[in-house]
Amino acid sequence: MEKSSCIHFCFISYLVLFIVVGSWYRSTNSSLPNSTLQTPWSTSKNRIFSNSKASSVLETQAQTSIDHSAEAPHHPLDPLTMQEINKVRTILSSYEPFSFTFPTIHTVQLDEPDKVQVLKWSKGDALLPRKAQVLALLNGQSHVLTVDLDSSSITSHAINSSSGYPMLSVDDILAASKVPFSNAEFNKSIAARGVPSSDLICLPPSAGWFGPNEEGKRVVKVLCYSKESTPNFYMRPIEGLVMTVDLDTLEVLKFSDTGREIPIPKSTDTDYRYTAQTKEPQMEPLNPISIEQPKGPSFRVEDGHIVKWANWVFHLKADHRAGLVISRVMVRDSENGELRDVMYKGFASEFFVPYMDLDESWYFKSYMDAGEYGLGMSALPLVPLNDCPRHSYYMDGIFATPDGNPFVQPNMICLFERYAGDISWRHSEGLLTDFQIREARPKVTLVARMAASVGNYDYIFDWEFQTDGLINVKVGLSGMLMVKGSPYHQAPNQDAMSGPLISENLIGVVHDHFVTFHLDMDIDGANNSFVNVNLVKERSLPGESPRKSYLKAKRKIAKTEKDAQIKLKLYDPSEFHMINPSKRSRLGNPTGYKIVPGGTAASLLDHDDPPQLRSAFTNNQIWVTPYNRSEQWAGGLLTYQSRGDDTLAVWSERDHSIENKDIVLWYTLGFHHIPCQEDFPVMPTVTSGFELKPVNFFESNPILRAAPAFETDLPVCRSSASS
């Protein structure tokens, strides 16, 4: 680039930056209405939003939501629109069983058409019939309804006969959080601790299920914290004070107060906001960094949900429960340019988080974050330039409130291209030959991201697409620890505690995180098989070779569901392939994809432990089941207070045939978390994941003909001073 062009580009860049920063500064100092980005969540598992001084310097950078009131669906898998949710409410209002009392709506989402119909549908065809699935609660009973939007009728209505209830509603959480303040025992205990009621925040975590004494009632456990002098009230627990509350009657069923001798931890150094930091970081300052795209991003989004980038096409949408759903994933063949099926649908099905403390105020903490709270319902607006880079595309979620009205969850998904200096492929020659070759290709990827703030924890979900056909799925953990108050400033015996001290009077309780993914792989079509490619050690025969042992890959096709129940073992390694036995490469290999586990962990709880009974889907890292459109949630459709009688583990015990059929791969990613001081007061992100990698899917390296990058491709503005 000529010098004058470079100077012009730099000037324009700085001018744009000046305008953006100026606009942001004015917006942070103006009076904006509180409804600008409101959602119905004023609380979640361990979080309460208020209009107090606990604001963030980054809060107003989130983009304002667009008007969705006139949107219409374009694809059979498009989520329900605002108009459709309004229509669902109108139909329910005139439905005779609800004529006297309108139920509490817990979920309204698209009842997806049959998979066969969706696979046959093409753009330009008439849209398939639109239906909604509704989970509602009335008089203590869970109602599952199907609403036909075309005929304006309810086509199915069942009262759930198995255990479990729909996820907590906003009304449930708000009502339960107020119960302690009218309870005499609670007020007496708080007064004895010297905590003003104005400094209290009380939160209703789920109660789990621990036997028949807890059946027949929807209950929560209410815990309290002090928010004096800090927005990070998680670090100031009022230890040992817990109430069991009936959600329907708002009656205190049990009151426990065992921690009066434990001091409330101080607020010192707990405020994590940028504006609250009084000391400079002890590191060299970083200059601003950004990915520049002078021609704009390479991806495009058509009809609101169809993403097209490089050789990929897929459907992307927000979901009330799963958060982010990827569907109809296709990749273009590198030889003939045809689009080929890879995955019909992928999403995080359940998130299990058990804590390892037996105290009265801790034993029940074994959360199922997707089924009890909703990952989509917990997704707040992403922060531009910090959550997502420049040139990102943002997507809203459209969900329903407890009274059935639609609302917008703004900017909960972002889509962007990533270049981190990684290499797609390379090779050099010249040391021992006459060839002087330097060939390398930069790795540019496409990322779909969602972050759910489920109480104290923040979960970042990335689906990353590579041009070589690989899909990299990552989960990041950040936010705040769930901590336990302690009388100690220094631990006399850490082995006697449920976790290490992370600050004065604070224990970071040991816990786990397990994320189970639903992966409906359709490799070149729906009928697939699951293959265990086991690496087996063999001994060489006497005199056969100087080698004594070697490894051999032995393939075994799983015939039934039990054949595909896999526990990962370091010293019994395998690759796990999903193949299409009817589609072969030119060399005769079945086309396929393999799942490549990253760093993971397995649940070590006893199988008869109540939390593990409910989350038995974590007993294996891999499961394979026949496709069933009603079996999408690993913890069951109704997870709250379930007994584990409708889970992936139960379905798999049927041991149905899975060879050369439409099958679903389930994978559980795990983390063991032993907290440390660096996790206080907010955690640096910890990330793990897995890959879906092509195996004999392409005839050869699919990015062999990809173009390298050249200096002339991008404007380069160098600093006038260098060291």
Instruction: Enumerate the active-site residues.
Output: 369, 457
Q: Report the C-alpha dihedral over residues 694, 700, 703, 707, rounded to 10 degrees.
A: 180
Sheet with 141-148: strands ordered across: 104-110, 131-138, 141-148, 153-159
Cα–Cα distances in Å, from 647 out to 109, 164, 367, 517, 538? 21, 11, 15, 13, 39
Q: How many CB atoms lie within 10 A of CB 587?
A: 7
Query: How far apart are alpha carbons 607 and 632 in whole angstroms?
Result: 22
From the list 508, 565, 528, the residue with the least C-alpha distance to 659 is 528
Tokens 């296709």, residue located: 330
Cα separation of 664 and 687, whole Å?
25
The residues that bridge with 503 in the sheet, in sequence order, are: 506
Q: Which two tokens stand for residue 258?
A: 């065992």
Contact 470, 488 (CB under 8 A): no
Phi, psi values for residue 176, rounded to 5°: -65, -35
Chain centroid, CA 387 distance in Å: 14
Tell me the C-alpha distance between 634 and 648, whole Å: 5
Q: Which two tokens stand for residue 370?
A: 């997707």
Hey, what are 159's tokens?
A: 């009262």
**CB neighbours of residue 59 within 10 Å:** 14
Instruction: Determine the Cα–Cα distance for residues 252 and 699; give it in Å rounded to an integer.
Output: 66
> Using CA atoms, how far apart are residues 242 and 222, in angstroms rounded to an integer?
6
Q: How many residues does the chain have?
A: 723
Which tokens hold the place of 314? 């897929």
Strands of the sheet with 219-226, listed across from one edge: 200-203, 219-226, 237-246, 252-257
Query: Which DSSP symbol is given to 566?
Result: B
Dist CA 502 CA 166 (whole Å): 36
Asked, as a colleague might, if the bond just before 384 is cis with ω within 30 of 0, I would say: no
Cα–Cα distance, 681 to 231 (Å, whole number): 11
Give the dihedral of Cα atoms 595, 600, 602, 603; nearest 10 deg: -120
Burial of 204 (C-beta count, 10 Å sphere; 0-12/13-18/19+): buried
Closest CA to 593 of 658, 533, 535, 659: 533
Grouping H, G, I as helix, E, B as strand and the rest as coil, residue 219 is strand
Rounded CA separation 181/604 (Å) = 39
Q: What is the SS3 assignment for 530?
A: strand
Q: How many CB atoms lie within 10 A of CB 293?
A: 15
Q: H-helix or E-strand containing 370?
A: helix 369-372
As given in the structure block, the two tokens for residue 306 are 């169809």
Secondary structure string (H, E, C) spanning 586-614: CCCCEEEEEEEECCCCCCCCCCCCHHHHH
Question: CA-to-CA distance for 416 and 297, rounded, in angstroms?
Answer: 8
CB 506 within 8 A of CB 680: yes
